[in-house]
Structure 1
Amino acid sequence: MTLPIFPLNVVALPSQTVPLMIFEARYRVLFSTLLHGEEGVDEGLVQKDSPFAGTKRFGMCFVDKEGRLASVGTTLEIMEFMHVP
């Protein structure tokens, strides 16, 4: 299975709820694509050709201080979303 990866310096364990604050533009595009697909989002915030559009699933992987990704990660699904301007 191939998923978009969200690198963080924390580890998400299976069945754990992980609150995220998404503020970087590239990750806002990623999460907008995962949440909404091509529908109901301002132009430019969605990657229309993404196979992940609307799936609400992504991979989360630990990244160390040197920027290296761990060799294993966790698959997460977006259960709730709250837009904070």
Structure 2
Amino acid sequence: MVNNTTEKEILNELYDREGRFNKTKAVKARPQKKLTDYPDAKKHQLVSFIKSIIRIFGYTLIPFDLIWAASVLVVSEFIGIIEELV
């Protein structure tokens, strides 16, 4: 099956944003989150600062003891996971 669409028709279709619609399925709008559902910015900032301090400490340990440095950096990564959940 050959489609005889010209380049001009394709460009017109691309630039006609108002005429576009989803042909495959109806798209439902997601409900908006309430303001109370947002994470606490202060807790996130506090955990982020703690994580940064632990990371800096871990990087300063690298010249002295790689095992301890790696352990501290792994702990800071776990704190980073907690940071995203706060």
TM range, normalised to the smaller chain?
under 0.3
TM-score when normalising by structure 1: 0.21
TM-score by length of 2: 0.20
**Larger radius of gyration between Structure 1 and Structure 2:** 2
